[in-house]
Amino acid sequence: MSKGKVLIAGSNATAIEVQGGRFGATGQYLNETVVPAMALIAAGYEVVLATPNGTKPHIDPASDAPEHFGGDAAGYQKAKTFWAEDPSMNNVLTLGAAIEQGLENYSAVFVPGGQGPVVDLMTDADMGEILRHFHEAAKPTALLCHGPIAVVSAMPHAREFRSALIAGDEAKAREWAKGWQYAGYRMTVFSDTEEKVVEDYILHAKLYFNMIEALSAAGGKVSKTTVDFEPNVVIDRELITGQNPRSDHPIAAALIEALDRRQVR
pLDDT digits (tens, 9 = 90+) for 180-227: 999 999 999 999 999 999 999 999 999 999 999 999 999 999 999 999
Count Cβ neighbours within 10 Å for each residue of 161-196 and write b for 16 or more, e otherwise. bbebbeeeeeebbbebbeebbbeebebbbbbbebbe
Closest CA to 149 of 161, 167, 137: 161
Intervals of the chain under pLDDT 50:
none
* Domain span including residue 227: 5-263
Q: Are strands 46-51 and 93-94 parallel, antiparallel or unpaired?
A: parallel
User: What pLDDT score does 21 carry?
Assistant: 87
pTM exceeds 0.75 for this model? yes
User: What pLDDT score does 265 carry?
Assistant: 65
User: What pLDDT score does 58 carry?
Assistant: 97
pLDDT digits (tens, 9 = 90+) for 74-99: 999 999 999 999 999 999 999 999 99
For the chain, the domain total comes to 1
CATH number, residue 134: 3.40.50.880
Closest CA to 5 of 143, 87, 117, 103: 103
Torsion of CA 199, 151, 38, 94, to 10 degrees: -100
